[in-house]
Chain A
Amino acid sequence: MASPQTGVKPTTIVDSRGTMCPGPITDLFRAYRNANIGDVIELLATDPAAKSDTEAWTKRSGNEIIAVIDEKDYIRIQIRVVKKGK
């Protein structure tokens, strides 16, 4: 289902709620390894480090954060895979 905030339907939802660092970024990397260019990965996390780690990774890798959405008890981060490999 498309996110009401962004109108973007994720290709993969990665639910890392309840895990602490490095759980969310580990789960994101596992999803990224299996993703294709154009896919949208939605990461759900309760760990506050998930946001800064994901931002740092997208900046370095050239991938794109579509939105960071604050839900009641967790955050949803939508990432569009625009770069993978050479």
Chain B
Amino acid sequence: MQGSTVNIVLVGGGSGGTLSANLLAKQLRAEIQAGKVQVHLVSGSQQHIFQPGYLLVAFAGQDPTEIVREERSLVNENVRLVEEPAERIDLKSQVVTLASGKTLHYDYVIVATGSTPNPEAIPGFSEAALNFHTSPEESRRIWNMIQQFDGGHVVIGIAGVPHKCPPSPNEAAFLIDDYFRKRGIRDKVKLTFLTPYPRPYPAEPMSRVVEPLFKKRGIEIVTFFNVESVNPTKKEMYSLEGETQSYDLLILVPPHRGADVVVKSGIGDADGWIPADKNTMRITGYENAYAIGDATNIPVSKTGVTAHLQAITASDNIVSAIRHGRELYKYNGRINCPFEMGSGKAAFVVGSYDMPVKEIHPSRIRYVMKKAFARFYWRTLSGSLDWLFGLYFGKTQTVERT
């Protein structure tokens, strides 16, 4: 590293972008303070939302303000926080253009722009369905609606693919079942879980855990139902497969797409997912550009834990490159999604590129672990708890000497 300042730009202030910025600021502290490196975090939102918290806002009445913090309060002092949206990412010219027209030239970029719920993809969805993937306010609307609900047919599940946080639709079914039981009106509620997949949980080993629990709770399962449209007047929805399903209260996860800035910049596929190497996290065709988390097209769950682990790999690779290191870090596809299954119990969805998802049954201790993770979330963004992650997850990346 000689001469001019090395600029690193992180695009996106979610879990992956915030953690990457903080990890780089910690690891490159000496270089930053010597004026040799600058780390810029571009965040279109001034607020950071703990998205797994949507579930508890929607189905357990948690205060929505408890899952939101100021992004500025989460960012290392050596990170330059840019509080405006990115308008364009030009990978060839190595320039990020902001909404104001200002430009940031970079030597290294990490694109962590996440995924966006796309209810508009399904005619009638926005008028008819509630969802807990959009905002704290939208999640709160579900809590308000279910409190007023005195009986009838609740349909809950997945409208279309892909979507973030694969366990969350199942978790919602367990939690709403718990809620109606606590209110003593479960016998007045018909509860249906609807999914485009062949089984209640997409990966068969975990579906073997979920299916008997749904049956025990009297939750009906409708599979292979890709919602094509919803008729709010008739309270009916129609599948691409040609079937009809009626409802009184509809709570569905909409299909997701990539961020607008990815589409506008032409750096993703038709749905806005960025092609990236599933191990190094480099954007296809570029050695200095990385994509992490939901934003990529790589074959792994779109979850916060995944974004976290990929952020470690991408930032380690940038630090290595800046210091002329010979190490190339490779993420191994490790996933570890907390999965709440009602009655104060939880499991985890665990797997990697080389290890198919395991069958894990719910327990009280796993529930406590899930709650502990939620409590520590804000601290995990600083990177200061990565030793704990390392102890728990074991190896999440390998190192290749080049």
Contact = CB atoms under 8 A, between A and B. Distances in A.
Contact of B238 (A16, A18, A62, A86): A86
- Size bin of chain B's contact surface: 20 to 34
Contact of B240 (A19, A21, A23, A85): A85
A33 B242 contact: no
Contact of A84 (B240, B278, B356): B240
B238 A85 contact: yes
Contacts of A60: 223-224, 241
Given A21-B202, A57-B224, A61-B224, A29 B161 contact: yes
Given A20-B299, A22-B202, A23-B299, A85 B161 contact: no
B241 A62 contact: yes
Contacts of B278: 18
B197 A83 contact: no
Contacts of B196: 29
Interface in A1-58: 16, 18-23, 25-26, 29-30, 32-33, 49, 53, 56-57
B224 A30 contact: no
B296 interface: no
- Main secondary structure on chain B at its contact with chain A? loop
Nearest to B278: A18
A20 B196 CA distance: 17
B192 interface: no
A21 B242 CA distance: 24
B198 interface: yes
A85 B356 contact: no
A86 B271 contact: no
Contacts of B161: 22, 26, 29-30
A62 to B, nearest CB: 7
Given A33-B160, A56-B224, 4 more contacts: A20-B299, A21-B204, A26-B162, A33-B240
Interface in B27-77: none
A62 B238 CA distance: 15
A49 B238 CA distance: 27
Contacts of B162: 26, 30
B226 interface: yes
Contacts of A61: 224, 240-242
A43 to B, nearest CB: 14
Contacts of A19: 299
B203 interface: yes
Contacts of B241: 57, 60-62, 83
Contacts of A26: 161-162, 202
Contacts of B351: 20
B228 interface: yes
Nearest to B166: A22
Interface string B141-164: 000000000000000000011100
Contact of A83 (B202, B242, B353): B242
Interface string A53-81: 10011001110000000000000000000
Contacts of A23: 299
A85 B230 CA distance: 12
Closest 6 CB pairs of A and B: A19-B299, A22-B202, A61-B241, A60-B224, A26-B161, A23-B299
B271 A53 contact: no
Interface in B269-293: 271, 278
A53 B195 CA distance: 14
A62 B239 CA distance: 13
